[in-house]
Amino acid sequence: MESHDVVVIGGGPAGLATAMVLREHGISDVVVLEREPEAGGIPRHCGHQGFGFFKRWGLLNGPALAKKLRTQTGSIDVRTNTTVLEFSLHGSLRVHGASGIVEMGAKKIVLATGTRESSRAARLIGGNRIAGIINTGMLQQQVYLHHAKPFLKPVIIGSEWVSFSALMTCRHAGMKPVALVSEQEKIDAPFYFAAGARLIFGVPVLRRAEVIAIHGTAQVEAIEIEMKGQRRMIECDGVIVSGKFRSEHALYSNGFLARDGHAPVVTEAFRTSKPNIFAVGNVLGRLETAGTCMMEARKLAMIVAGELK
Amino acid sequence: MERKFDIAIIGGGLVGLAILRRFAMAGLSCVLLEKGVDILSGASKGNSALLHTGFDAPPKSLELQCMLAGRAEYLDIRQKLNLPLLETGAVVVAWTEAELAALPAILAKAQRNGISDATLLSAIALKVREPHLSKAALGAVLVPGEHVIDPWSAPLAYATQALAHGATILRNTEVTAAKHDTKGWTLTHTGGEVSAHVVVNAAGLYGDKIEALARPSSFTIAPRKGQFVVFDKPAAKFARSIILPVPNERTKGVVLFRTIFGNLAIGPTAEETEERENPSTDTAILERLKARAIEMVPALADVDVTAIYAGLRPATEHKDYVIEAAEDLNWITVAGIRSTGLTAALGIAQHVAKLYAKNFGKLPKKLPEPTWTPVPNLAEHSIRPYMKGGEIICHCEWVTKGEIADACSGALAATDISGVKRRTRAMMGRCQGFYCRAQVEALFNEVNHGKP
């Protein structure tokens, strides 16, 4: 069985920073497993600014940050198109790569699987099962990676930072959102985001609006909302279901690690309920910038390096 | 001059496809006309994917007869077509004293229907079998023969085997008129005409409309909607058996069942509706379904919902299936096939073949040597392509690039993204396409338009 000092699961900012700092501290037998064709994580398809600070790299946009991370980890064993299927009972990993499935052991395992938005289904939003309902993540991939313009006049559901990120992505691709719909009174993103949406982009922000259903025959045609007891239909050609992030928890949600909600329970030293398994970055159940995740990863890497020496 | 077929089947649902397979394998020339862009796009799209025993079917009904025959044939041919079987068994659970009192009658009916291995389970025996079930469960009838199968691959296999025996399947082809004369039928459809000696109406949710093209319909389709909530894969271990309720007069009730894809689902509701396609889900009802699942299995409170969907059953005013031959018209009607259709389809096809032989023409005594056309396996408990390597594109359902490419090729290739989804399960998992949708679309476009 292949075995290493450290196996990092996930090649986003947290995972790559972990590997980088481990190497700085003399731990060279590190493998990063990334299931996507390219490492870099979510920033790869966030074409806007604001990924936080790390090592005086300055202010970068997403793809630039992802690229910088890839360059900096060039000499580290980062395996793309490589999926961890599950933890074996005795703590090794079942890993899928181009050559099939292999077992992989490690003295320390670092979970850096990140987070994703919850789907329309997870939110139990009723209506028709039709094309044109996507997350911000899919929207950004289509726009920034594949240069597509999926809609002309979508509605965005949500009022978190990412909802406004979706708005900016729409504008970037020349789409004009008809409304931003939030079930809450309070907007979770800073107030100037909502003001900016209205003033700069001319997109109304509808608060305390409950989504009743998404309607259409083959493609989204309208969204039905309820505000102050009144139902109304808003014509649109797509729905972007944004936010409500949840940890990418598939690997441990079978009871393998203790968890609090979707996130694994960790100590201050990022240790999970299994002593040799650590977790870092946005898998910990809140949404932080790439910079913050990488700062966390630095702390974690120093702890892990200390234990290995 | 249009080619003249022996048989034309209207409707590419699982019943129509099973009938097509039966006639094609008997050496008849057959055509099937489906109005949707893909096969299995109507009533067949949203069922609970169970292989029933018929333990609770009306005794002596045609429905029971077709279910028993259909089940037997499925079990006989499934390995040759690479069709999965998850042998879960089912428990009919009593949650109230009144339901507990009803269990012996359910058992007696099962035995009358020939299900000899059904037994009563005490509350303790039930707890041993289903440790995650709520303490409120008072007892059950265990029916070991109720199983879970793949609602997509089975009818796809029937279609594929029919094609291998020379059948023609026309998708995107809606029948708009039917003319009968001494030479047989001429069906006008959106792409032209076909002629056939005999027509089979297997139009499902549009059965009455198609019937009316030939003769006054003796039934009206009253679609019954069923909504479902699907839980993520960790939920599957919380229920070993299919958890059935004690049925009432109108419906079999809401079932908690494992899927062949490794999930746990609850449904269906039974709602009268006007909708004949694209049924909508309703947030309030989905919330009730989810709450009911958690009530039955409390541990589900901690598991995510990965999918929601609704299906339509083509119910009629008749309790039993409506399957009959109009001798003077060379027309066979197959209607009112509801939730038992997946189990019964092959049996219905046998019955229809008998009606044909009796009324319209000879069928060979001995069938020509069959060609077996195994379909790709999607069941999580047997060997899936990713287990042998290949690049994984969908990380939730572990669908490989090769599987997606295969789905886009062949005689029944996917014609759009939802076709790829149904053939491979890509984007059907917990992230619902968050990660892979863009890549799947690029692959689809590459195969179909030569560029990503």
pLDDT along chain B (452 residues), means of 10: 86 98 97 96 91 94 97 98 97 97 97 96 98 97 98 96 97 97 94 96 98 97 96 94 89 91 95 91 96 97 94 95 96 96 98 97 88 94 88 93 94 92 93 85 86 60
- B interface mutation test: which of A34, A36, A42, A141 has the most B CBs within 10 A? A141
Q: Place A132 in a pLDDT band, splitting at 50, 70 and 90.
A: very high
Q: Which residues pair with B14 in a beta bridge?
A: none
Q: Is the Cβ–Cβ distance between B69 and B351 less than 8 Å? A: yes
Q: What is the pLDDT of residue A1?
A: 87
Q: Place A19 in a pLDDT band, splitting at 50, 70 and 90.
A: very high
Contact A85 B398 (CB under 8 A): yes
Closest CA to A145 of B436, B335, B317: B436
Q: What is the pLDDT of residue A59?
A: 75
Task: Give the gap in angstroms from C-alpha A307 to the nearest C-alpha of chain B.
Answer: 32
What's the predicted TM-score (pTM) here?
Answer: 0.93
What span, in angstroms and rounded, lies between the C-alpha atoms of B341 and B336?
9
A146 vs A80, residue with greater confidence: A80
- DSSP-H helix ranges across B40-197: 62-77, 97-112, 123-129, 153-164
pLDDT in tens, B3-60: 799 999 999 999 999 999 999 999 999 999 999 999 999 999 988 899 999 999 999 9
Q: Which residues pair with B374 in a beta bridge?
A: none
Q: What is the pLDDT of residue B1?
A: 43
Q: Which residues contact A1 (CB under 8 A, 6 or more apart)?
A: A92, A102, A103, A104, A105
Q: What is the pLDDT of residue B65?
A: 97
Contact A96 B386 (CB under 8 A): yes
Contact A121 B432 (CB under 8 A): yes
Name the token pair of A243: 């936010």
Name the token pair of B147: 């199983």
Q: Nearest chain A Cα to B417, which residue? A: A131
Q: Which of B283, B388, B452 sits opposite A125 (nearest CB)?
A: B283
Residue appearing with tokens 């932080």 = A288
Q: Nearest chain A Cα to B400, which residue? A: A98
Q: Nearest chain B Cα to A215, which residue? A: B280
Task: Give the gap in angstroms from C-alpha B14 to the nearest C-alpha of chain A.
Answer: 21
Closest CA to B173 of B285, B404, B57, B8: B8
Contact B281 A127 (CB under 8 A): yes
pLDDT in tens, A257-293: 999 989 999 999 999 999 999 999 999 998 888 889 9
Contact A129 B389 (CB under 8 A): no
| HSE toward the beta carbon, residue A58, CA cutoff 13 A | 4
Which chain B residues in 408-447 lie under 8 Å from chain A, judged by CB atoms? 417-418, 430-435, 437-438, 441-442
Task: Give the gap in angstroms from C-alpha B87 to the nearest C-alpha of chain A.
Answer: 22
Contact B308 A126 (CB under 8 A): yes
Question: CB distance from B237 to chain A under 8 Å?
Answer: yes
Task: Give the gap in angstroms from C-alpha B109 to the nearest C-alpha of chain A.
Answer: 38
Task: Give the gap in angstroms from C-alpha B429 to the nearest C-alpha of chain A.
Answer: 10
What span, in angstroms and rounded, lies between the C-alpha atoms of B144 and B119?
9
| Count of helix runs (H) and strand runs (E) in chain A | 6, 20
pLDDT averaged over every residue in chain A:
91
B283 vs A89, residue with greater confidence: B283
What span, in angstroms and rounded, lies between the C-alpha atoms of A196 and A194?
5
pLDDT in tens, A191-206: 777 777 777 778 999 9
Q: How many CB atoms lie within 10 A of CB B31?
A: 22
Task: Give the gap in angstroms from C-alpha B415 to the nearest C-alpha of chain A.
Answer: 14
Q: Which of A124, A148, A253 sits opposite B308 (nearest CB)?
A: A124
Contact A100 B388 (CB under 8 A): yes
Q: B430 — phi, psi (to 5°)?
A: -65, -30
B268 upstream amide cis, omega within 30 of 0: yes
pLDDT averaged over every residue in chain B:
94
pLDDT in tens, B226-249: 999 999 999 999 999 999 999 887
Q: Where are the beta strands (DSSP E) in A77-194?
A: 77-79, 83-87, 93-97, 100-111, 115-117, 126-127, 133-135, 155-157, 179-181
Name the token pair of B404: 């997606």
Q: Give contacts of B42 with chain A, Cβ < 8 Å.
A: none
Q: Give contacts of B418 with chain A, Cβ < 8 Å.
A: 131
Question: CB distance from B372 to chain A under 8 Å?
Answer: no
What span, in angstroms and rounded, lies between the C-alpha atoms of B409 and B400?
15
